[in-house]
């Protein structure tokens, strides 16, 4: 990136304003699209985006709906997977971005899978980190808990709809020192009802058909011990996507992109170079 921080921009959708950061300094070159996880914001990927400057690729980072500076309207149907994909598509069309390389982490990785399944011809490459394509309880043989969990989360969201704040805390991922610190801070950055609604969306998650339409070079990154993402799920994902590989890191956490940024950055660079995407 030519600037230490890409240009802050926004788009007015029919469902509120979405903020994003764009460095489009390299005409004709691919664009890296970074999607963060639940309760975070675009700064999750900012260090990685800066490190990739040497590849001379364009960069787009978002504050997903409900996060950061973007719209936080308390309306449940605004926090479905297709709405997040439509937000991203609106930005891509507005900026006329082509040859997209999606890089998504956790919740953002699932959005990347959904988007790539909807617009496969526009995706040059895909990297997902700690992300599910299917309700994770199904791989834990806990499917019977799906709808009770959905009901509990929905009830909690309804219970705290009264919560009102004029401002929500905006934190920089680079400045948080530990997992628990970032987790606690994350809960102050968005309405808790929205957080619960988004967690509840996993109960209905099934992108089997969508990812079967993905054919671009794809890297699936997971840790060896991830409570939310099993080895069986990543292997099934790799079989469904036509050109995918799985990389398992010897870590004991779901939070790879936020806790192991240097290693994830190196993995991204190697993948882009190996697949001639850089």
3-state class of 148 per DSSP?
A: helix
Question: Please, what sign has the CA dihedral across residues 13, 15, 19, 25?
Answer: negative
Residue 273 pLDDT: 96
The predicted structure's pLDDT at residue 122 = 96
Query: What 3-state class would DSSP assign to 134?
Result: strand
Helix then strand then coil, % of the chain, to nearest 5: 45, 20, 35
Residues in the chain: 278
Shortest CA distance to 68 belongs to which of 216, 211, 218, 194?
194
d(CA 199, CA 96): 32
- pLDDT of the residue at 137: 86
What is d(CA 66, CA 77) in angstroms, rounded to the nearest whole number?
A: 12
Q: Locate tokens 């890409």: which residue?
A: 6
Query: pLDDT at position 233, please?
Result: 97
Phi, psi dihedral angles at 59 (to 5 degrees)? -135, 130
Q: What is the largest CA-CA distance in the chain?
A: 51
What's residue 138's pLDDT? Answer: 86
pLDDT tens by residue, the chain, 278 residues: 555 678 999 999 998 999 999 999 999 999 999 999 998 999 999 999 999 988 999 999 999 999 999 999 999 999 999 999 999 999 999 999 999 999 999 999 999 999 999 999 999 999 999 999 999 888 876 666 677 777 777 867 777 765 665 666 566 766 655 555 656 666 677 888 999 999 999 999 999 999 999 999 999 999 999 989 999 999 999 999 999 999 999 999 998 998 899 999 999 999 999 999 98
Q: Which domains does the chain have, with CATH numbers?
A: 7-274 (3.40.50.1820)
Three-point CA angle 24, 28, 264, nearest 5°: 60
């Amino acid at each position: 990136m030519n600037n230490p921080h890409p240009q802050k921009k926004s788009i007015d959708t029919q469902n509120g304003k979405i903020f994003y950061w764009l460095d489009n300094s390299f005409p004709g070159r691919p664009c890296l699209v970074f999607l963060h996880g639940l309760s975070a914001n675009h700064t999750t990927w900012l260090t990685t985006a800066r490190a990739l400057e040497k590849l001379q690729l364009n960069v787009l980072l978002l504050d997903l709906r409900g996060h950061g500076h973007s719209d936080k309207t308390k309306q449940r149907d605004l926090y479905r997977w297709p709405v997040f994909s439509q937000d991203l598509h609106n930005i891509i069309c507005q900026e006329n971005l082509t040859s997209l390389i999606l890089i998504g982490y956790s919740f953002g990785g699932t959005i990347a899978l959904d988007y790539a399944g909807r617009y496969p011809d526009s995706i040059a490459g895909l990297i997902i980190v700690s992300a599910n394509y299917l309700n994770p309880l199904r791989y834990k043989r806990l499917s019977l808990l799906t709808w009770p969990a959905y009901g509990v989360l929905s009830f909690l969201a309804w219970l705290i709809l009264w919560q009102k704040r004029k401002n929500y805390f905006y934190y920089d991922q680079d400045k948080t020192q530990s997992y628990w610190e970032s987790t606690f801070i994350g809960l102050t950055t968005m309405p808790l009802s929205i957080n619960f609604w988004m967690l509840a969306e996993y109960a209905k998650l099934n992108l089997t058909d969508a990812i079967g339409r993905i054919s671009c070079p794809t890297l699936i990154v997971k840790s060896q011990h991830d409570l939310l993402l099993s080895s069986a799920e990543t292997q099934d994902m790799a079989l469904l996507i036509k050109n995918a590989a799985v990389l398992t890191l010897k870590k004991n956490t779901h939070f790879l992109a936020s806790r192991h940024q240097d290693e994830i950055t190196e993995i991204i660079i190697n993948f882009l170079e190996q697949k001639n995407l850089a």
